[in-house]
Structures are given as C-alpha cells and as structure tokens.
Amino acid sequence: MALNVKAIGSFHIGGGPVTLTGLPPRRLVLTQGMGVREFPQDGDFESGQMYAQYVRLERPRAKYPLLMWHGGGMTGATWETKPDGDPGWQSWFLHAGHDVFVSDAVERGRAGWSRFPEIYPEEPHFRSKQESWSLFRFGPPGSYPSRAGWPDGLFPLGNFDQFAKQVVPRWACNDASTQAAYDALIREVGPSVVMTHSQSGAFGFTAALHAPDLVRAVVTIEPSGCPDPDTVNLSALRSVPHLLVLGDHITGDRFWETIVLRINRYMDALRAAGCTADVLDLPAMGIRGNSHFPMMDRNSDQVAALVQDWMQRQGLMQ
C-alpha cells in the first residue's frame, strides 16, 4: 500500500553549549593530499542533544504522533529496516496511519558524541557480539560459539552479523541529559504516544510522569528499567494508558527475571493508582520464540498488529 507522505524531515533538540579551555592543539592530516595542519582543541561546542527524524502523513489515522525510542547501545535503526532486509516497525506503523518520529538519543548515531573525559566523565562501553547474543536471548546460554539459537527462536540468526553492525558505543553517565532531551522532544512534538525499547523504557516511564498532559500513552517493549513506584506520584497517570510487551525465554534467565519482577511491580503500582497498565506476555498468549527484539523477529508484523489493536482500544486512533 502506498503512503501519502506530507513531510519528511529531521532536527536536533536538547543539550546546550559547552566551552573547553586548556587543551593542547593537535597536528593532523584530515583530508587526503592536504598537508599537516594544527587544530586547536579548545572552543565552544554543543553537547547533550538528540536527533529525531519524522515522517508525517497527509491524512494520519492516529490521533497523535508515535515517538520510537531505541535501547542501550543502539540507534533509531532499531525501528527501520530489519537485519534480514524486511521493513521494520517504522514502516509498519506508518502504513497503519501513524505519523512516526524515530530518534537517536544523546551520544548515539546522528546525535553525535562529545569529548571524554572533558565533557563525558568516563569512556564508553563497546558491546561485543557475545554480549549481544546472550543479553538479547538470541540463543541458550553459552550458545554463541556455535550460533545455535533457540529451537523455536524467531530472530533471523542468519543476519546476526548484520544486526551487530547497528551496535554503537554507549556511556553509563548520561542518563540525566538523555532524559532532558527526551522531555524536550515531547514538548516540541506535543501530544504523542511514546514507544520505547529496553534502556529507553525508564526514560519513557519518566517522560510520562514529567508530562502526563502530553504523553497520551506509553508502549514499552521489554523495558530494562523503571522508576521506583514508591517515590513518584502515579495518580497523575490515570489518563495515560501503559502497555508492556514481553518476549520469550525470560523464565530461567536470572538477569531478565529480575528485571521483569521490577517492571511488574511498577505496572502493579500503576493499576493500584487507577491507571491502565496492560501486558502482552507473548509466550503466555501462545506466541513462542520472540527475542528481546520483537520488532526484528520474523513475526514482527504479528506483534505490531497486537500493539495496534491495543492502541485502537485505548481510543488513540481516529
């Protein structure tokens, strides 16, 4: 089905100026055939910004734009073309009638880096392919050397190396600037639905608390963190429905079991405060084999349709 697109564009938002002094100049050759030049390292810079790309439809059927936020060590590529070359959720939800904003968070992708340790106080973490394999539940524990996935696994393992090309450095010291940039994005876009994955789950939960008048719903795909429900006012979220989506092979994985216990406690607290807090536990529904990346799995369209049905029931479509 063809898309009638009104506008495609992008912008940076958040962050602010930083001035560095006292750094020694560097002598570099930055262009082939050019001689050595001396470049000062002092100066004024921008830091703490994020990048957002938008596609707006001529006649959206969704009431609000859909903001897609990626996880740790990833970029907005999470939502775009899948590692196997099939269209991702950006395309799926555009065809379902949503204006879609895909972002690269602070320090990721087209948001750009800042110097460290002068601005970022520590060096980045570079996620290995071994870490990705086990953390994202692409196969049983210890299966990376053989690349033998789960018998019912739905991640396209033949494209695992292509997936690994998406992985970028991440810093453990930038949560405050990242949250500030996400909050600024919501203020810029206005009323919207936030869709998060993994690390950005905590940012999405917090963004709703910061702007319950602007965040019209939160769809969180396997979030890895959340606020402490004992320290926040969840009653402000009574008009902000939340949906949690969980994949397979969590049971028996102590790391993910601990995370899900914490997330379920937050969802229980939302319900106790009078909020809508629904769960799509895919294996409990008979949908087996999803990884930590259901938007990249072979049944990604099926999972997207379940999310779309939920948004329809919440009155988020025209």
CATH of the domain at 259: 3.40.50.1820
Residue 305 has pLDDT above 80, yes or no: yes
Q: How many CB atoms lie within 10 A of CB 166?
A: 18
Q: With respect to residue 231, please indicate whether it lies within any of the assigned structural domains.
A: yes
pLDDT tens-place string over residues 259-269? 999 999 999 99
* Model pLDDT, residue 33: 85
- As a whole-number percent, the residues of the chain with pLDDT over 70 amount to 100
* Model pLDDT, residue 149: 97
3-state secondary structure 44-64: EEEECCEEEEEEEECCCCECC
Q: With respect to residue 40, please indicate whether it lies within any of the assigned structural domains.
A: no
Structure tokens at 307: 């999310």
Q: With respect to residue 19, please indicate whether it lies within any of the assigned structural domains.
A: no
DSSP summary character for residue 155: S
Supply the pTM of this predicted model: 0.97
State the average pLDDT over residues 273-284. 98
Per DSSP, the three-state class of 97 is coil
Q: With respect to residue 112, please indicate whether it lies within any of the assigned structural domains.
A: yes
Q: With respect to residue 37, please indicate whether it lies within any of the assigned structural domains.
A: no
State the average pLDDT over residues 57-62. 98
What is the band of 167 on the pLDDT scale with cuts at 50, 70, 90? Answer: very high
Kindly give the residue spans of alpha helices, DSSP state H, lying in 19-174. 89-95, 129-135, 160-164
* Model pLDDT, residue 196: 99
What is the band of 91 on the pLDDT scale with cuts at 50, 70, 90? Answer: very high
Q: With respect to residue 29, please indicate whether it lies within any of the assigned structural domains.
A: no
Residue 19 has pLDDT above 90, yes or no: yes
Instruction: Return the CA Rg of the chain.
Output: 20
* Model pLDDT, residue 30: 87
Considering its fold, how many domains does the chain have in total? 1
* Model pLDDT, residue 230: 96
Residue 2 has pLDDT above 90, yes or no: no
Helix count and strand count (H, E) for the chain: 7, 12
Structure tokens at 123: 């060096």
Chain mean position to CA 315? 24
Across the chain, what does the average pLDDT equal? Answer: 97
Query: Do 226 and 266 meet the contact criterion of CB atoms below 8 Å apart?
Result: yes
Query: Do 190 and 63 meet the contact criterion of CB atoms below 8 Å apart?
Result: no
What is the band of 113 on the pLDDT scale with cuts at 50, 70, 90? Answer: very high
Structure tokens at 286: 């008979």
* Model pLDDT, residue 46: 98
Q: 117 preceded by cis ω (within 30°)?
A: yes
Q: With respect to residue 216, please indicate whether it lies within any of the assigned structural domains.
A: yes
What is the band of 210 on the pLDDT scale with cuts at 50, 70, 90? Answer: very high
Q: How many CB atoms lie within 10 A of CB 179?
A: 18
What is the band of 1 on the pLDDT scale with cuts at 50, 70, 90? Answer: confident
Q: How many CB atoms lie within 10 A of CB 172?
A: 12
Q: With respect to residue 25, please indicate whether it lies within any of the assigned structural domains.
A: no
Residue 243 has pLDDT above 90, yes or no: yes
Kindly give the residue spans of alpha helices, DSSP state H, lying in the chain. 89-95, 129-135, 160-164, 175-189, 200-210, 254-272, 300-313
* Model pLDDT, residue 34: 86
Range of the domain at 180: 5-14+46-313
* Closest by CA position to 135, among listed 303, 293, 304, 298: 293
* Closest by CA position to 47, among listed 121, 127, 101: 121
Torsional class of 231: left (φ above 0), alpha (ψ -120 to 50), beta (otherwise): alpha
Backbone angles phi, psi at 212, to 5 degrees: -65, -15
